[in-house]
Structures are given as C-alpha cells and as structure tokens.
Structure 1
C-alpha cells in the first residue's frame, strides 16, 4: 500500500493487533469462534503486511504474487464453507479483496500508485469492494453497541468467547480495508 507513513503504521498496528486477538480466539470454547478465527487472523496479518509503508520496506514483486496465492487458497476455503453462514460470505469477499490488492500491487510501479493516471488497476472492482466495506462498517458499527449489552448479560463467557469482540475485529479489519483500497 502506498500512502502517508503515519497512517500506514497505524494500519499495521491495528491489523496486527486484530490478527493476534484472532489467533487467541482459536483457543475459544465455542466452535463457531474457533472456526472463523483462523481466517480472520490470516486476514489481519496479511493486511498488516500490506500496510507497511513503501518508504520503509518494498517487498519484491514475487511477494505480492505469493500473497495472492495464499489469499486465493483462503478464498477457496471460504467458498467451500459459505453455506454455513453470512460470516463466511464476508470472509469470501475479504479474501477476494486481498487477492485483488495483491494482484494490483504486482503490476504497480515501485513507489507509485496503481490507480493513478495510467495505472493498471481495476477501478470498477476497487470501487465495488470499497462500497461493500463501507456498508459493512456502517451496518456492523450500528449492530455492535446493542449486541454487547444483550449478548453479555447473564452469560459467563471468557474474553476469547465474546461474540461482540469478534464483531469488533471484523469491524476493524473492514475499516482498514476502507483505508487501504483507495490508497492502492
């Protein structure tokens, strides 16, 4: 991702923290939490790697292609499990966005913008993904506040088993995606 270094580092911190929490959720008592946590951890760490400012580290061209392959495989897994619920559909769209960003970065000139004048990106797809993630952020943000009070009352859940924390992780990754897509 190309953009200001300070916002890049904030995205790195946000996505790495989210990925770390999702790794910890893989030890949850609830099967539903464990099932989704691995893919979300992969997304968090992948987004953290993409958000490192280009002025600090520019990965070799093959790294973006490798990322596209990894997220393509994660997308195939999400496609296989999409019938299990809407959360998996969101994972499928998220992995598709990661593949799109990785492939765009393989064709981006070093330290340039892929969607700038003469860029080789796919602005229509980027715009559609951006609209999806903005809508996801708005809907999830509205649902998050009341869910914390309703779901937490009367239940003895550990911090890894809290559904509202899982939603907050998805919300933070969607916010990061809203920041990263236009900066490509």
Structure 2
C-alpha cells in the first residue's frame, strides 16, 4: 500500500521544513525567539527522522533508545525553563511525547511508520487530546486581528516601526508550532 509511505514522506517534508525555519529563527535579534527556536528546530528535525517510512530506513533498537535519550535531555531542559516561561510547558509535553514514542518504537521496532505499535492507549489518547487542543488554540491565534496601524488609517508615514526580518515574524513561528502539532497528532495516530 502506497498511502502510509506517501503520508510518511509528506510528514518528513513538513517537519524538516519546520525545523529549517526554526534554525533561521535562531538568528533573531530577540533573545526569547533564539532560545525557543533551538528546541523547536530539534523537535522538527527529530520528528522528520522518526517519520521516515520503514521501507527506506528501519532503525535498530539502539537508535530508538538514542532518540529517547536526546528528547529526555530536551525534556529536562524544558522542565528547567518552565520556571521562567510557561510556554516551555508545551516544549516539555512535546519532548515527553517524543520520548514516549521512541520508547514505544524501541519496544516494538517493527511498528515503525504506522504498522501498529506498543504505545499505551490511555497515554496516547491523552497526548492526542492535548495536541488537538493545542492545534485548535494555535489556529485561533493565527486568525487576523485588526492592528493599531489598520485602525488608525494605515500609518503610511515615514516614522513607522522597525522592519522585521524573517527570523522575527511571530506569526510564522506560530505556523511552525501549528505544523509540528499537526505532525505530532499524525505520528501519535500511527502509534
């Protein structure tokens, strides 16, 4: 069947593109953007690697344990960062979900790429609910809102705000987070 392999490659492309943009965000002038962008790049590229169809790459058990160790370290870092910014709570849940999926794949390596897995149904369901809620919340935050410049007549004068670079576009960062949330749902559904 070609469906799961094609979906896997689409997921790889989505996650790799998201990880690439997060690397670009690491060049931001805003320190908070740079700090979160690194973790999000790791998540994007890690998800891309995990989504490679099993027909192309069937990692050995030790590779899944390596994923679990890397994302376990990312979870510890996010746990430490939660003290200063609750946004890192989402990073903590995401990193723990990656550890969970990697451990499930290590337990049943033949389950890779949607062939059924060894995940706990209750935990998988709770993670699915969390990420579905996060995707809906992120989508609502992307809805257009009238800005101050639009309500004051467009503000086309010469003294406008600073020009934002691609690394500083908060709406693009939200799109990346939304994309990774959708990808996480797709990966959890195959578990």
TM-score normalised to structure 1 length:
0.90
Is the alpha carbon distance of 1:150 and 1:14 closer, same or farther for their aligned partners in structure 2, counting shifts above 3 Å?
Answer: farther
Q: Is 1:125 the counterpart of 2:123 in the alignment?
A: yes
Mind listing any 5+ residue stretches in structure 2 that lack a counterpart?
Answer: 151-159
Query: C-alpha separation between the residues in 2 aligned to 1:92 and 1:101?
Result: 14
Aligned to 1:87: 87
Q: Is the 8 A contact 2:107 2:118 kept in 1?
A: yes
Q: Is the 8 A contact 1:101 1:181 kept in 2?
A: yes
Aligned to 1:7: 7
TM-score normalised to structure 2 length:
0.87
List aligned pairs for 1:1-184, cutoff 5 A. Answer: 4-111=4-111, 116=116, 120-146=118-144, 150=147, 155=161, 156-184=163-191
Larger Rg computed on CA atoms? 2
Q: Is the 8 A contact 2:4 2:113 kept in 1?
A: no
Mind listing any 5+ residue stretches in structure 1 that lack a counterpart?
Answer: none
Query: C-alpha separation between the residues in 2 aligned to 1:144 and 1:35?
Result: 22
Q: Is the 8 A contact 2:65 2:102 kept in 1?
A: yes
Q: Is the 8 A contact 1:133 1:178 kept in 2?
A: yes
Query: C-alpha separation between the residues in 2 aligned to 1:137 and 1:93?
Result: 14
How far does residue 113 in structure 1 lie from its aligned partner after superposition? 8.0
After the TM superposition, which of the residue ranges 151-160 and 94-103 deviates more from structure 2? 151-160
1:113-137 residue CA offsets vs partner (Å, 9 max, x unmatched): 8995xx6321111110010000000
How far does residue 32 in structure 1 lie from its aligned partner after superposition? 1.1
Q: Is the 8 A contact 1:140 1:171 kept in 2?
A: yes
Q: Is the 8 A contact 2:79 2:92 kept in 1?
A: yes
Give me the CA root mean square deviation: 2.1
Is the alpha carbon distance of 1:5 and 1:114 closer, same or farther for their aligned partners in structure 2, counting shifts above 3 Å?
Answer: closer
